[in-house]
């Protein structure tokens, strides 16, 4: 049954929700997104539960993303509208989480990518472990970093967010917390103990300060060097255009392995998507989360309607697995600026998601 893909355990003042598709790395399909939205909407309007804990089933993943294969199946069967509806439902869920009137704790244990970031980062508390593997690898499938990435990636230190968006670089364990994507770092084997302690807060579970204090009791003190190259990241990725970024990487590539790897990673992805990612983060740095998600929905709608390389990227990486995508434009330098501008045109009022921040509710995903 579809409801078995989202399990709910009522622990009095605390609700524990489990994403239950371990064989698919708990990737989110339409039924799961709808179920989570309905649960969170009802809980947001009620006094109970006072705290929500979200985790993933199995040993490998919290949530590896959205079920993009199903979206591409819809596109290939001539039902692109269903594909764009999936993205709209997902973004509404992300926004609802950011506005939730009670604490939300996500256990980012294992693979946390794409849509998995969307159901964790927009909540108040994000608990990474030594097994956390975070990335936004959308350019490899011809998409763009979505689920509010234009908001939260653009607010990471310096140009780190743009670096992650363009290269799909993976962060692990303490790196996820030190980059500002997670709020706490806990050893994976202690998560059952953390969950039990959160449930044990009883009525105090609704107090963010009590939740934060409890999580800090389990905090690992180890630090990473994720910001160690921030000066280089800022210098290279702070350029005015994407082509200038590539030029800066190329100039360093012969003597610097980091630059070589970053350049190769960007070149592997969709050239069109790289331009879109560069532009969306620049715009998103000046926008509210609601505006970012509306912008991303306009992009998603156009990508499902045939703009860009989405269907081809998913085919090459996830369906045929030949890793030989035929991108619409062979090189980043070949992408016409007017094509990029076209996908950023706002949707009409009747097509938008209609997201609005609520007064008096802190924006949970503020970095």
Active site residues: 66, 115, 138, 146
How far is residue 333's CA from residue 146's CA, in Å, rounded to a whole number?
A: 23
Contact 241, 145 (CB under 8 A): no
**For the chain, how long is the longest CA-to-CA vector?**
60
How far is residue 47's CA from residue 209's CA, in Å, rounded to a whole number?
A: 18
Which helix (H) or strand (E) is 176 found in, with range?
A: helix 174-178
Ramachandran class of 55: left when φ > 0, alpha when ψ lies in -120 to 50, beta otherwise: beta
- Within 10 A of 91 (CB to CB), how many other CB atoms are there? 24
Which helix (H) or strand (E) is 297 found in, with range?
A: helix 289-304
**Residue indicated by tokens 């062979």:** 330
**Residue indicated by tokens 């045939």:** 306
User: How many CA atoms does the CB half-sphere of 74 hold within 13 Å?
Assistant: 21
Going by C-alpha positions, the residue among 317, 309, 319 that lies closest to residue 271 is 309
Contact 193, 186 (CB under 8 A): no
- Within 10 A of 193 (CB to CB), how many other CB atoms are there? 12
Going by C-alpha positions, the residue among 309, 306, 294 that lies closest to residue 352 is 294
3-class SS of residue 134: strand
Contact 249, 236 (CB under 8 A): yes
Q: Is the dihedral of CA 71, 76, 82, 83 positive or negative?
A: positive
- Within 10 A of 261 (CB to CB), how many other CB atoms are there? 14
Q: Which two tokens stand for residue 12?
A: 């009095």
How far is residue 334's CA from residue 197's CA, in Å, rounded to a whole number?
A: 55
């Amino acid at each position: 049954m579809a409801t078995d893909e989202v399990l709910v355990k009522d622990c009095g003042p605390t609700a524990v929700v489990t994403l239950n598709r371990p064989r698919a790395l708990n990737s989110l399909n339409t039924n799961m997104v709808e179920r989570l939205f309905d649960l969170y909407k009802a809980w947001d309007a009620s006094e109970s539960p006072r705290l929500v804990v979200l985790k993933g089933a199995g040993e490998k993943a919290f949530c590896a993303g959205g079920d993009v294969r199903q979206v591409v199946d819809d596109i290939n069967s001539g039902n692109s509208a269903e594909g764009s509806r999936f993205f709209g439902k997902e973004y509404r869920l992300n926004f609802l989480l950011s506005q939730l009137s009670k604490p939300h704790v996500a256990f980012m244990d294992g693979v946390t990518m794409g849509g998995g970031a969307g159901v964790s980062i927009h909540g108040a508390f994000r608990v990474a472990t030594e097994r956390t593997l975070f990335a936004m690898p959308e350019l490899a499938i011809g998409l763009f970093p979505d689920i509010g990435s234009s908001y939260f990636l653009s607010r990471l230190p310096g140009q780190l967010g743009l670096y992650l968006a363009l290269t799909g670089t993976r962060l692990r364990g303490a790196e996820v917390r030190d980059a500002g994507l997670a709020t706490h770092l806990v050893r994976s084997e202690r998560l059952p103990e953390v969950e039990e302690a959160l449930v044990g807060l009883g009525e105090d579970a609704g107090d963010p300060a009590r939740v934060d204090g409890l999580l800090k009791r389990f905090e690992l003190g180890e630090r990473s060097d994720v910001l160690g190259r921030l000066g280089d990241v800022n210098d290279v990725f702070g350029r005015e255009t994407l082509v200038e970024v590539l030029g800066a990487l190329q100039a360093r590539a012969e003597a610097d392995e980091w630059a070589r790897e970053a350049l190769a990673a960007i070149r592997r992805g969709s050239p069109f998507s790289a331009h879109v990612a560069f532009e969306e983060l620049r715009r998103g740095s000046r926008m509210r989360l609601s505006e970012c998600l509306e912008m991303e929905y306009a992009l998603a709608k156009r990508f499902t309607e045939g703009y860009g390389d989405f269907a081809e990227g998913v085919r090459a990486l996830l369906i045929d697995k030949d890793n030989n995508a035929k991108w619409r434009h062979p090189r980043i330098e070949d992408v016409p600026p007017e094509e990029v501008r076209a996908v950023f045109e706002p949707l009409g009022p009747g097509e938008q998601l209609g997201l609005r921040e609520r007064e008096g509710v802190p924006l949970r995903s503020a970095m």
